[in-house]
A and B are shown apart, each in its own frame.
Chain A
Amino acid sequence: MLTLWRKIRRSGRVAEPAPPRPVGESPAAAAQFGGSVQIRHVDAGSCNGCEVEIASAFGPVYDAERYGARLVASPRHADALLVTGAVTLNMLEPLRRTYEAVPDPKVVVAVGDCARNCGVFAGAYGVAGAVGDVVPVDLEIPGCPPRPEAIVAALRKLTGR
């Protein structure tokens, strides 16, 4: 317990200072969130590269929680779906059902090139399409994988903080 306490004292604040507010349009539904967005992450067929970056975005260094975004376990508790990966055949129906389970107002964020346009997996036999082909996408984050700063900037567009 003491070692942990000493580590806490030594590390101090790890979070980097907040960058300036991102410019650009927010999705229409985001106006109703009022600085609080609960996010449900869905892996539709990703290689987990984007997941590592999302984990980093919510980690101490970038700390996406300070802008009001929080990861939740159930889509019923969520406002936004963070979808990674090209949609595989097996995840087609589950992704649709997850989208249906989220109450209005909701947004879908496609994270990474695979979610936007299947990326390097375009045309593969197990891939049904991009996320935009299955559910309506409100925000896209390009990159393979996108940097945590890009993910945080997109989330800040949703929360408005």
Chain B
Amino acid sequence: MPLLTHASAPADALGPLASASGRPAPSDPSVTARKRRRWPSALWWSLALITLLCSIALLAPALAPYAPNEQLDIIRLKSQPPSLAHPLGTDQYSRDLLSRMLFGARISLSVAMIAVCLSATIGTAYGLLAGYIGGVVDAVMMRVLDAFLAIPRVLLLIALLAMWSPVPLPMLIVIIGCTGWFEVSRLVRAEVLAVKQRDYILAARALGAPNARLLGRHVLPNILNPVLVAAALGVGNVIILEAGLSYLGVGAHAPTASWGSIFFDGSEAFQSTWWIALFPGLAIVMTVLAFNAFGTALRDTLDPHQLAGGSTRR
């Protein structure tokens, strides 16, 4: 019977956020099964928040009081602070900020989610190949990866986008996706190296399974958990990144409302019209927080190493 130490308090004794970084560890075999199946509450509230944000983005045309690029009254409604008629105020072109924020959610969320799916796919494929083939191929692939990892992603993206600008939105997604897979593939490769040693791979190989089947049916399902966690954490990252790029003027372009481009509009005269910069920032923080909490909670729920560490290391 495992001993209870300070480090192994049950997950639900922690608060919603603390349980995200604490590790769930069964303290008593009789409750183990029940506790393992219970997901941390951070997972629920973050998932609820993400669902809410996604539905807001989907329903933006129905929810928004005005069209996102409609200039209401360039004389009288220019740069109005938040009021009842315009809950988040208006910007310097007299556009309703709430409507722009709602439509901006569509751009920011879809860019981030599609780009992360793309980079997770590329990263998994690359890491899978490098780890599975091994030897010289692996060594070469990993050095190339080291080089990509050594270039600060922001600098790389800015350089690329600046040279290609103005970049249409699908291209922006592809470029962001293609620069985000390096860490995923390092993660995947490490997992593959560990999984490759397992007996069930040996067994499958002994039964004559071809490489494709080994990879697809035996290796891939066993390395997906860390990829899911990395993807969840990656969405938050990319939302910030996209906003930063739009802020520098190389992301989503002028009339298109994304949280980053709204922030860019607001940052020019932020001393006087602080609300234009404040609200998109708050939206970003809330969204990124939801995805980060979801990612960490997911890791604590899924990560087999942490569960193993929690129950065997004492």
Q: Do A and B bind each other?
A: no
B residues with CB within 8 A of A: none
